[in-house]
Structure 1
Amino acid sequence: MSVSNSFRLGSPEVFPPAERHVYLDAASVGLSHKGGAAAISAWQNALAEEGTIAFDEQAEVECLDNLNEATARLFNATTDDIAVASSETVLMQSLAWAVMPEKGTKIVATDITHPSTVYPWMRLCDHTGAEVHWVRADASQTIDPDELEASIDDNTSVVCLSQCEYGTGQQYDLKRYADKAHAHGAILVVDATQSAGQVPIDASCGVDAVATSTYKWLCGPFGTGMMYVSPAMQKLNPGILGWRSHKDMWDFQADRLELVDNAKRYEFGTMAYGTAFGATESVRHLLDTGMDKIVEHNRRVSKHLIAGLNDLGAEVLGPKTDADRSATVAARFPGKNSRDFAKTLKEANVIASLRRDFIRFSPHYYNNIDDIDQGLAAIKAAL
């Protein structure tokens, strides 16, 4: 079936800026779902007008339960396996202190991963004496999957990966590394902030934890994070605890701590609940649209971008095979300073991000082929 070059899977009614800008920056901040933004405003206004009359204890529970349910569908998990907090980073930090890798063990990570993915584990190493083992990228900012797998051995306690690397969009086969980690008595922990919303996530593949924020490919707000926690990880003592970690969070007995017997023990405190309303709307929209459709659409758009960049003589970074790529595309332009070139493109209304010494383009399901052609024309003119 042919698809029009102007076709947007995410409609302009839901993402109005998509028609005003060539917005290729979902990996930085995704365009916000209009209904999600409205839900946040409605909650905030009701709270300002009526306080707990509008947002009582039952509403507080239902608010996160709704996001929990949507996230469980997103991760192909059960609601008992999902924890909600204010960001991916705090959830990852809490999990790291729960796992507490011992001295003499190693945490396998790539040197191109996002700092928020691995800093919590590096901080833990300072405390326990465990060490981070870095798998290094080549000149094209690509990790060799075989080298990554070979680095997992009997001394490994944790494999810490971004499902999609933030810079180049390199995508990893999570089952492959979960199986290898488990064969050596280690666990696989995944940061899905650059993958949730653009590629499918199946927690049943054997991952031990998957955490994400909502403001990138999930097209949600800042201030919300969700984490899948495997049944084995649900038995650990989280590094961050609060009143929401309790089996009966409304008990309010400070001298008695009974952790809930599921992933909610990783929930700890009051958060900006309005963001959860917005995140629920955006996640539901993605699910209703269909992740398979989003993957197909994004692949079509990003492949058109890669072909156009190659025609312009750009150096496209990252893996060469489609199976190892996501929608994120990184490129260098010969003879051009990437920092200056990113500003030039922004002035031409092509919104992308400078990362390290390259420019990162990240089209999403609200983009179309016409956007890519406009962006390529602007690049050609600037070159």
Structure 2
Amino acid sequence: MSISNSFRLGSPDIFPPCERHVYLDAASVGLSHKGGAEAISNWQNALAEEGTIAFDEQAEVECLDNLNDATARLFNATTDDIAVASSETTLMQSLAWAVMPGKGTKVVTTDTTHPSSIYPWKRLCDHTGAEISWARSDATMTIDTDALEAMIDDDTSVVVLSHVEWGTGQLFDLKRFADKAHKHGAILVIDATQSAGQVPIDVAATGADAVATSTYKWLCGPFGTGMMYVSPELQKLNPGILGWRSHKDMWDFQANRLELADNAKRYEFGTMAYGTAYGATESVRHLLDTGFDKIVAHNRKVSNHLIDGLRELGADVLGPKDEADRSATVAARFPGKNSRDFAKTLKDANVIASLRRDFIRFSPHYYNNIDDIDQGLEAIKAAL
């Protein structure tokens, strides 16, 4: 049975703005799950009214345990393998200092990796004398995966990749790079902020050693929450950032001794805006209940329609040509048009996308439909 052009896998009841705007900007900030936003508001109001009566120590534990459980399902991991904190970047920074690649080794990455993925490792390399080894993209901002794989050798200590590149949406095969890294005694560390929520992530099947994500993009959650899968081997290391939550018994409160948790919880470190965890839990659960097979198929249909339409309008679509190497993120340049001016023109036409460097990035998600894409293409055609 064919699906109508107006069909949205993510209901407008849950994502009201999708009926008011042509919102193609999940890679910047995803539309927030309505139930998640309500959960945050309810927590904040209860805290304001009753303080610790509404949010006691048990509630504080259960709040993050629920997100931990949802994240474990998201990554096909165990709850012992998940750490929760206030952002992906802080988790990545703590992990970098735990791994601490030494002088004479190298960290392999790409020049299209998001700064939040690599700056923590760059800072660490400046400290230890390790080097960053960059895979260079071509004119379409595409990474040659064969060349990237060839860079991984016995001098490599860490391979750091964005599962989906922030600019073009290029999608990397995690198992391929985990296998190559492990063959040379290295580890694979993944920033999944641009992939979690739009493509499946299976740490058990791929062998990735660490996977960190924020929640405010494709997971349709709030700002202020990050989660990280940590492999059992990396759970034995001493995190770079420590706090009261790192302790095996976080309620011990004895400053003169520290017994780190026996699992990924040692990478948790401090008090956070717990309400965001309630919101993130709701949004992740909704995505899991929807089913990633359905989300991938829906997003593929919508993004392919966008790519075909852009090419018909003469746009230069960036990134890989092979569908298997792409996600739902679509980047394009428009010959003869200044991208900054063009982005403003689209926004004035209620088509919400992002200006990035010298191109426009479109990122439809499961709350979009074919009609959205057609409206966007009509606005682009008029602007051209």
* Shorter-normalised TM range: over 0.9
Between the aligned partners of 2:326 and 2:207, the Cα distance in structure 1 is: 21
Runs of 4+ displaced beyond 4 Å:
none
Secondary structure of the equivalent of 2:254? coil
Cα deviation digits, residues 175-220 of structure 1 (max 9, x gap): 0000000000000000000000000000111100000000000000
Q: In 2, distance between residues paired with 1:52 and 1:16?
A: 33
Query: Any residues of structure 2 matched to 1:99-110 within 5 Å, and which?
Result: 99-110=99-110
Task: Give the residue type in structure 1 aligned to 2:342.
Answer: F
Aligned-partner Cα distance in 1 for 2:4–2:75: 31
Give the corresponding residue for 1:202.
202
Identity across matched positions, percent? 86
Who is 1:66 aligned against? 66
- 1:186-225 to 2 correspondences below 5 Å: 186-204=186-204, 205-225=206-226
Q: Which residue of 1 aligns with 2:15?
A: 15
Q: Which residue of 2 aligns with 1:252?
A: 253
| Residue in structure 2 matched with residue 179 of structure 1 by the alignment | 179
How many residue pairs get aligned? The number is 383
Spell out the pairing of 1:166-315 with structure 2 (5 A cutoff).
166-204=166-204, 205-315=206-316
* 2: CA distance, partners of 1:81 / 1:269: 18
Corresponding position of 1:98: 98
| Match in the other structure for 2:44 | 44
Structure 2 Cα separation of the partners of residues 88 and 292 of structure 1: 25
Give the aligned residue type for 1:236: L
**Counterpart for residue 153 of structure 1:** 153
The equivalent of 1:4 in structure 2 is 4
Distance 1:143 1:343 in 2: 29
Secondary structure of residue in 1 paired with 2:158: strand
| CA–CA distance in structure 2, aligned partners of residues 343 and 109 of structure 1 | 33
- The letter for the 2-side match of 1:165 is E
In structure 2, C-alpha distance between the alignment counterparts of 1:233 and 1:292, rounded to whole Å: 30
| Equivalent residue runs for 1:124-135 within 5 Å | 124-135=124-135
How many angstroms apart in 2 are the aligned matches of 1:2 and 1:78?
38
In structure 1, what is the equivalent of residue 363 of structure 2? 362
How far does the alpha carbon of each residue in 1:110-150 deviate from its partner, in whole angstroms, 9 at most, with x for none? 00110000000000011000000000000000000100100
Q: Unpaired runs of 5+ in structure 2? A: none
Report the Cα distance in structure 2 between the residues aligned to 1:290 and 1:170, rounded to whole angstroms: 22
Task: For 1:212 and 1:364, locate their aligned partners in 2 and report how far apart those are by CA, in whole Å.
Answer: 17
Q: Distance in 2 between matches of 1:147 and 1:3?
A: 40
The SS at the match of 2:279 is helix
Letter in structure 1 aligned against 2:286: H
**2-structure distance, mates of 1:91, 1:283:** 19
TM-score calculated relative to the size of structure 2 = 1.00
**What corresponds to 1:373 in structure 2?**
374
Q: Which runs of 5+ in 1 are unaligned?
A: none
Give the Cα–Cα distance (whole angstroms) in 2 for the partners of residues 332 and 367 of structure 1. 22
Shift of 1:307: 0.2
- Distance, in Å, in 2 between the alignment partners of 1:136 and 1:357 is 18
1:29 Cα deviation (Å)?
0.1
Q: Provide the alpha-carbon RMSD of the alignment.
A: 0.3
Residue identity in the other structure for 2:66? N
Aligned to 1:136: 136
The letter for the 2-side match of 1:229 is V
Residue pairs, 1:311-322, within 5 angstroms: 311-322=312-323
